[in-house]
Structure 1
Amino acid sequence: MGDQPAFTLNIDQNKYLPLDGREVHAILTVGSTGGAVAAQPVAAEAAEVIIIDTSGSMSGSKIREARQAATTAVQTLRDGVHFAVIAGTEKAWVVYPGGTPHLVRANAATRAEAGRAIGKLLAHGGTAMGEWLKLAGHLLTAHPSAIRHALLMTDGQNNERSDVFASVLSGWSGAFVCDCLGVGDDWVPAELRKVAEAMLGTFDFVRNQADLSEFFRRLTQTSMSKTVAELSLRVWVPQTAQLKFVKQVSPTLLDLTGKRTDVNPLTGDYPTGSWGAEEREYHLCVEVPPGTIGQEIRAGWVKLVRPDTQDVMASGNVLAQWTDDLAQSTRINGKVAHYTGQAELHELIQDGLSARAAGDFGTATARLAKARELATESGREDTARLLEKVVEVDPATGTARLRRNVDKADEIELDTGSVRTSRLRREGS
């Protein structure tokens, strides 16, 4: 077990509830040392698919930057990793390797061959991301024991019917992790958000296309550092209780509630994707029946489980105790308060941008002004700066109004950045 990652699970909560209290909130901090990868004779088996949008909108400098970025990603793959490169238009095809669609092992020769094949890519046609993901899925599922990852880059809007796209996402959800990048200002953040949520990945905005190679290198490097293919949060709640939600709250917001797989009537598994040396935080909410003063119950039992082996890597308890001490029951745990605020900030930004797009400027102004206030209060200076570009507040009267000419790139950056959260600052830091 020397090369196995070590996992920790810490639970932050205020267990005390008033007599009529029903909701128990807890923040789970899951940490991993990642395992001694460098010391392992064989690194974790990995399978990687790089997906490049080659639709007509990618012409000119964009396709040149995309070719360079894809080549950078291939160069970043470590020896022995299985990989392929896909080009996507209204259909998808394997650019490398040739012949029957399959993955090949990375070495100096295959990386050079892939680079030559990528160098011939041209821009033409439409955009059907579901087709791209389907082909990636078929390639990756041929390697069931590998850490499976895809990297998808697009600059445009999906031309598929929304029901077709949704069925691809639900069909392949959990089969592999997919990180997405949007380039330029003509793509729709909501579409890549759907991919990231279904495939437990990230999505990001490449504002300056010259930075594309660096984004590809960084995401590929992160994928190469993963040592465990899949972990689940296994959550048990008592028969009389109801699990309201399970959400990842750091480093990004990701609602896992709908991804539950039943283990038994009281227990469900929630997928978290692949892991390296990292720390993530999750917010759990359980509704319990009313109790009596002094009564303590276990409101939840959380285990970190490897689904392939059923090994329990770490575990912890979520507790509830009823009290008539007002000071105890009204104290909100700092981490719970912080991440509840971060989720509210995300919601305000999403609501505000949607209202603005729909022409409901009153709602948009109210939501975005409140978001700006919350971002400032919670130390999200980056988000506050972006909000200032969309909504202005008169310092004398406090009146907020939407700015008339907003740069589309600023709006996309605000939208995509709203899923990233800040960590709770430690006292004195």
Structure 2
Amino acid sequence: MSSHTTRPPKPGIRLHVDLGGDPRPHRSAKIEAHLRVDVAADGAPTDLPAVQLAVMIAVDVAESNRAAVRHALPAALRALPDRISFTVLGSGPEPVRCFPRDDDEWAVADQNVRRRAAFVAGSLPLHREGPRPAGYAAWVAGARALLTGRPVSVRHLVLITDGSSFSSEDRLEEELDACAGQFTCDVFAVGVDWKPDPLLKLAERLHGTAEFVDEGLGRAITGAIQRLRRVHTPQLPIEVTVRPSVRQVSLAEKTPRPHRLGGLPESGRPHRWSFPTYQWEQGRRDYLLTLVADSDADPLETELQFAMVSIGGVHAPVTARWHHPEQSPLQELAGADSVRTLNATARMRSALRRGLIALQENRRDVALERLGQAARLAVRLDAEWVLDEIRTVADVEDAAGGRVRLRSVDAGTLGPMILRAGSRPEGPLTDPVTARPGPRCRGCRTPAGSEARYCITCGEKLL
């Protein structure tokens, strides 16, 4: 497939598509493409006006962990920018309104409001002995009830949790489905008794991050709000229109925040899918688009367009050709390296996370295998942060060979590492993207330019 770079009809967005390889025809052939989206500010204000932000700060913490938020929350409230809408909820059997305490659901920050909010936060209600708290589903439902009614550009939940309200979460999936597209969420874990998986689920489904904060919670909350102000486009769908032979479509963001995107079929357009994305800042994002297609009615050795990718008025095709099953493609496609890198990075993160979970569950054989796999891939991808994580729990004897020796570790210390493996933001891929090689004459094998139609040596028509 060609590498297609489109010129944006409006400044700010550039879309580039690379295909992983020309596929072999069968009923369920998988076609993978790397989508790279570059967004430039192009004269937009440095910061989004604070009046366009609404932030709900939810403190899901037990009384025994009050020290974790005693000073951090007032400090974060005193640092709020003027004119931002905010509300603070404390903990009980159900979320409890802490500020504002009058009939208004939202406070708008100024010097006096910040001072009153910081004072009230000193007596924030937290979980005590008694009825079991309602769980994360209740926090998500409460955020939806408040945030969706606030008519601003960016709506965001900051959830601070020590895991004390975690339950079986039977309702969590249902609530997350209802919240799709309504707001985004960052999760800050404090204490030692929380479980990583539900926090990662919250962050992934609500397009944010989950991280453990031992110290500096106030700075973490302030940093999250500052990042929200750098958002130039709160929501921007990636639309994928496919040919009828494509039966399945999936899209996963790989950088900066790895997570799978939920696709929404467009009403009345059965071959068009929309994948909502959020919080676009200046910079680059990388996605892996996967198509599953049938080849029964398609011609062989013919360039076919399997999809059109559109974002912000910019379009790029995904094209490939079916090869004869008994033949090998004449040459490797330029985009294959970038697709392989995306897949290898995903395997590396998955191996690291699964290895840490296995170690936490005392399945040491599995942990040894997974962490060794993560080490091998980290060397290949030059991901030093992964090797640093592995060295926390094991001696790395031969990283390239995947040989590690586990040490005895406290299972309670592994939670923060599991969060980082599943939610740690990454920078953009660094592999250079080159143009696709031009066609080559099938007769005399002379290479030709990408726009050539006939061989300059023998005059044969080029495919």
- Please give the range of the TM-score, normalised by the shorter of the 2 chains: 0.7 to 0.9
Aligned twin of 2:315: 315
Aligned twin of 2:144: 137
Aligned twin of 1:243: 248
Partner of 1:242: helix, strand, or coil?
Answer: strand
Give the deviation of 1:58 after TM superposition.
1.6
Note the aligned Cα RMSD (angstroms): 3.0
Give yes or no for contact 1:9–1:314 (8 Å, CA) kept in 2.
Answer: yes
Distance 1:365 1:47, change over 3 A: same
Partner of 1:187: helix, strand, or coil?
Answer: coil
Aligned twin of 2:454: none
**Equivalent-residue separation in structure 1 for 2:220 and 2:290 (angstroms):** 35
How many matched pairs? 411
Residue type matched to 2:101 in 1?
Answer: G
Give the deviation of 1:23 after TM superposition.
2.4
Give yes or no for contact 2:307–2:318 (8 Å, CA) kept in 1.
Answer: yes
Aligned twin of 2:421: 417
Aligned twin of 1:12: 18
**Equivalent-residue separation in structure 1 for 2:46 and 2:416 (angstroms):** 42
Alignment partner for residue 367 of structure 2, among 364, 367, 372? Answer: 364
**Equivalent-residue separation in structure 1 for 2:89 and 2:145 (angstroms):** 12
For residues 187-230 of structure 1, the C-alpha deviation after alignment (integer angstroms, 9 at most, x for no partner) is 21111111112211111122x32x21221111110112223231
Give yes or no for contact 2:356–2:417 (8 Å, CA) kept in 1.
Answer: no
Aligned twin of 1:299: 306
Distance 1:369 1:158, change over 3 A: farther
Partner of 1:389: helix, strand, or coil?
Answer: helix
**Equivalent-residue separation in structure 2 for 1:42 and 1:197 (angstroms):** 26
Give the deviation of 1:254 after TM superposition.
0.5
**Equivalent-residue separation in structure 1 for 2:48 and 2:175 (angstroms):** 38
Distance 1:139 1:374, change over 3 A: same
Residue type matched to 1:315 in 2?
Answer: H
**Equivalent-residue separation in structure 2 for 1:417 and 1:288 (angstroms):** 32
Partner of 2:73: helix, strand, or coil?
Answer: helix
Q: Which is further off, 132-141 or 337-346?
A: 132-141
Give the deviation of 1:93 after TM superposition.
1.8
Give the deviation of 1:408 after TM superposition.
3.3
Partner of 1:235: helix, strand, or coil?
Answer: strand
Partner of 1:17: helix, strand, or coil?
Answer: coil
Give yes or no for contact 2:353–2:421 (8 Å, CA) kept in 1.
Answer: no
Give the deviation of 1:398 after TM superposition.
7.3
**Equivalent-residue separation in structure 2 for 1:245 and 1:302 (angstroms):** 12
Alignment partner for residue 40 of structure 2, among 11, 18, 33? Answer: 33
**Equivalent-residue separation in structure 1 for 2:50 and 2:364 (angstroms):** 54
For residues 387-412 of structure 1, the C-alpha deviation after alignment (integer angstroms, 9 at most, x for no partner) is 12223355599754432224633552
Give yes or no for contact 2:51–2:83 (8 Å, CA) kept in 1.
Answer: no
Alignment partner for residue 88 of structure 2, among 78, 85, 90? Answer: 85
Give the deviation of 1:272 after TM superposition.
0.8
Give yes or no for contact 2:187–2:203 (8 Å, CA) kept in 1.
Answer: yes
Give yes or no for contact 2:212–2:419 (8 Å, CA) kept in 1.
Answer: no
Partner of 1:111: helix, strand, or coil?
Answer: helix
Partner of 1:286: helix, strand, or coil?
Answer: strand
Alignment partner for residue 23 of structure 1, among 16, 30, 36? Answer: 30
Aligned twin of 1:231: 236
In the TM superposition, what are the counterparts of 1:403-414 in structure 2 within 5 Å? 403-406=407-410, 408-414=412-418
Give the deviation of 1:355 after TM superposition.
3.1
Aligned twin of 2:452: none
What stretches of structure 2 of length at least 5 have no aligned partner?
Answer: 1-9, 433-463
**Equivalent-residue separation in structure 1 for 2:265 and 2:332 (angstroms):** 33
Give the deviation of 1:278 after TM superposition.
3.3
For residues 265-295 of structure 1, the C-alpha deviation after alignment (integer angstroms, 9 at most, x for no partner) is 1011111123232322111011233354431
**Equivalent-residue separation in structure 2 for 1:298 and 1:395 (angstroms):** 45
Alignment partner for residue 278 of structure 1, among 278, 283, 303? Answer: 283
**Equivalent-residue separation in structure 2 for 1:349 and 1:158 (angstroms):** 27
State the TM-score, normalizing by the size of structure 1. Answer: 0.85
**Equivalent-residue separation in structure 1 for 2:333 and 2:273 (angstroms):** 30
How many percent identity over aligned positions?
Answer: 24
Rg: which structure is higher?
2
Alignment partner for residue 68 of structure 2, among 33, 56, 62? Answer: 62
**Equivalent-residue separation in structure 2 for 1:344 and 1:371 (angstroms):** 8
Give yes or no for contact 1:44–1:226 (8 Å, CA) kept in 2.
Answer: no
Aligned twin of 2:447: none
**Equivalent-residue separation in structure 2 for 1:232 and 1:318 (angstroms):** 18
For residues 214-271 of structure 1, the C-alpha deviation after alignment (integer angstroms, 9 at most, x for no partner) is 2111111011222323111111111111334210000121111x44343421011111
**Equivalent-residue separation in structure 2 for 1:149 and 1:41 (angstroms):** 14
**Equivalent-residue separation in structure 2 for 1:169 and 1:40 (angstroms):** 29
Aligned twin of 1:262: 266
**Equivalent-residue separation in structure 2 for 1:325 and 1:394 (angstroms):** 39
Give yes or no for contact 1:230–1:275 (8 Å, CA) kept in 2.
Answer: yes
**Equivalent-residue separation in structure 1 for 2:86 and 2:406 (angstroms):** 47
Give the deviation of 1:171 after TM superposition.
2.2
Give yes or no for contact 1:5–1:36 (8 Å, CA) kept in 2.
Answer: no
**Equivalent-residue separation in structure 2 for 1:139 and 1:408 (angstroms):** 35
Partner of 1:326: helix, strand, or coil?
Answer: coil
Residue type matched to 1:99 in 2?
Answer: D
Aligned twin of 2:110: 107
**Equivalent-residue separation in structure 1 for 2:398 and 2:34 (angstroms):** 37
